[in-house]
Amino acid sequence: MAQAKGKIIKKNSPVGGTKKMDKKTAIAKSAKSASQVKKAPRTVSSSSKAKVVEEEILMQPPRGMRDLLPGDQPYWNQLRRVLSRVSLDYGFQRIDTPAVEYANLFVRSIGKGTDIVDKEMYIFNTKGGDKVALRPELTAGIGRAYIQHGMTVLSKPVKLFSTGPVYRYDRPQEGRYREHFQANFDAFGEQDPILDAQLIQLAHRVVTSLGIKNIQFQINSIGCPKCRKEYQDLLTAYFESKKQKLCLNCKKRLEINPLRILDCKEDKCIQVAMTAPQSIDRLCGDCRVHFKSLLEYLDELDLPYVINPRLVRGLSYYTKTVFEIWSGDEEGKKHSLGGGGRYDYLIEELGGEHTPAIGFGLGMDRLVQEMKRVHAKMYIEPKPRVFLAQLGDLAKKKSLNVFAELQKNGILTAESFGRGALKSQLRVADKLGVEITLIIGQKEALDETVIVKDMVSGTQETVNHERLILAVRKILKNNVVVSHEGENA
């Protein structure tokens, strides 16, 4: 039996006729209509003569996730270009790891008692019974790959760079999403504090290259397992004496890892932490020398930093150096852009051999937000300088090869192959502001020629396919055009 066909008529849309509107009005109206559509229409099955209601679809991403539209891409493209260039300058190699890992990888590395493990991870069972998680951060997966693929035999330090989405079931707010993008720089196999300083310098280079100038690094040392035990005992005793003033979560943290209380965002816990013992006062000799050397390197580099004795970061694998990058606006508000630190025992904890390491992550969404705030330079894709028009079926077939040849020779060319009327295609060329329009009609298709029209001087000539590239390059070289060099730097 043939299925019944339905027709959907949008509310307030004209019936029996069309009303022309300009492009901006059409886009605005379309966006407004889309925002009002919350659920997809239900469908009706005629085969059983009974209404079958399908599950309704919300016309939006899940809460805390969003689309990155074409209008935002110039900022993202500039960020990607800067990250790629700086990573190469500092000797980092690209690595990409899965967005899904076994859940116990993150429980083992990040640690129980952390907000990420206890509250924010997306954990689920596969159909095969595996317990997996969407990655809440990149370092654990990179550490797993470092062990699995035998990178321990490589020349040290092994420097790895990665970008990708990470997922945390957190409360969505400005600049914070449940799916957000992170750039990671990780270096394995070197314990000298000069590497700590170099990575902080790298972070400074990335952020300032984006046009974000008013930044500050917050630095601390949380010691190694040797000296941290004494500090944790001292911290536990202090928080036990203030237990009644702590939030419910921090009372639980006190039993598992008192360091996590220093990372709590509750106002009353922040007040209690203000007078808590400081880790830098309890460092062992080696950790004290390491931290002192790092500060001397930062002073030599003249990087803006302050010591924050309550900074511990939210991940349990950190040792010794921890740091965060902050930017400030005109109103005095501070915005976190990223952070990192040493994790000298992470690889060993995951089953590898002892490998000192340091790394940091930058929130790409936050960086783009800051770029917009300071009106930073965007990467504008080069505009096509040539338009290829065609008229007739044979010309349309020939134009595909001509278009490919132009692209192969590095000549950025626009086209509108789906339009049949030449006048309609020329209107597109005019809107694009191209310098050359190439026209292939029925005669040109048969003769293997192309009409080359200089849109600046108004002159035109007919050339054969062999001379086309040379003729186009000659006109483009002679024409004076606006340079995109400043926008693309």
Q: Specify if 8 maps to a domain.
A: no
For residues 170-187, average pLDDT: 90
Q: Specify if 15 maps to a domain.
A: no
How is residue 62 annotated by DSSP?
Answer: P
Measure the CA–CA gap between 349 and 257, rounded to whole angstroms: 17
What is the pLDDT at residue 321? 97
The answer to whether residues 200 and 160 belong to one domain is yes
- Does pLDDT of 12 surpass 70? no
Measure the CA–CA gap between 180 and 134, rounded to whole angstroms: 12
What is the pLDDT at residue 489? 37
The answer to whether residues 357 and 404 belong to one domain is no
- Residue 21 CB: number of other CB atoms within 10 A? 11
Measure the CA–CA gap between 419 and 28, rounded to whole angstroms: 25
> Which of the listed residues 341, 373, 405 is the one where a domain comes to its end?
373
The answer to whether residues 145 and 118 belong to one domain is yes
Give DSSP secondary structure letters for 177-246.
-SEEEEEEEEEES---HHHHHHHHHHHHHHHHHTT--SEEEEEEE---HHHHHHHHHHHHHHHHHTGGGS
- Domain with residue 428: its CATH number is 3.40.50.800
Q: Specify if 52 maps to a domain.
A: yes
The answer to whether residues 55 and 112 belong to one domain is no
What is the band of 331 on the pLDDT scale with cuts at 50, 70, 90?
confident
- Domain with residue 332: its CATH number is 3.30.930.10
**How many distinct structural domains can be found in the chain?**
3
The answer to whether residues 204 and 111 belong to one domain is yes
What is the pLDDT at residue 101? 97
The answer to whether residues 191 and 309 belong to one domain is yes
The answer to whether residues 86 and 183 belong to one domain is yes
Residues with Cβ < 8 Å from 15, sequence gap 6 or more?
Answer: 9
Q: Specify if 325 maps to a domain.
A: yes
| Strands of 329-443, DSSP E | 334-342, 357-363, 386-390, 413-415, 436-440
For residues 2-27, average pLDDT: 43
What is the pLDDT at residue 285? 95
What is the band of 43 on the pLDDT scale with cuts at 50, 70, 90?
low
Structure token digits, residue 446: 């048969």
Classify burial at 70, counting beta carbons within 10 Å of its beta carbon; exposed 0-12, middle 13-18, buried 19 or more.
Answer: exposed
Q: Specify if 247 maps to a domain.
A: no
The answer to whether residues 430 and 368 belong to one domain is no
Domain span at residue 482 reads 386-488
Measure the CA–CA gap between 449 and 464, rounded to whole angstroms: 4
For residues 178-194, average pLDDT: 97
Peptide bond into 382 cis (omega under 30): no
What is the pLDDT at residue 48? 54
For residues 251-259, average pLDDT: 86
| Strands of 236-385, DSSP E | 305-307, 319-328, 334-342, 357-363
| Gap between the terminal Cα atoms of the chain | 62
Whole-prediction pTM? 0.80
- Does pLDDT of 79 surpass 50? yes
Q: Specify if 368 maps to a domain.
A: yes
- Does pLDDT of 16 surpass 50? no
> Which of the listed residues 373, 407, 434 is the one where a domain comes to its end?
373
What is the band of 49 on the pLDDT scale with cuts at 50, 70, 90?
low
Q: Specify if 483 maps to a domain.
A: yes
> Which of the listed residues 29, 60, 91 is the one where a domain comes to its end?
60
The answer to whether residues 365 and 345 belong to one domain is yes
Query: Which comes out higher in pLDDT, residue 11 or 292?
Result: 292
The answer to whether residues 151 and 299 belong to one domain is yes
Give DSSP secondary structure letters for 430-459.
HHHT-SEEEEE-HHHHHHTEEEEEETTT--
What is the pLDDT at residue 81? 96
The answer to whether residues 161 and 55 belong to one domain is no
SS3 call for 323: strand
Q: Specify if 355 maps to a domain.
A: yes
What is the band of 22 on the pLDDT scale with cuts at 50, 70, 90?
low
The answer to whether residues 356 and 478 belong to one domain is no
Q: Are 136 and 184 in contact (CB under 8 A)?
A: no
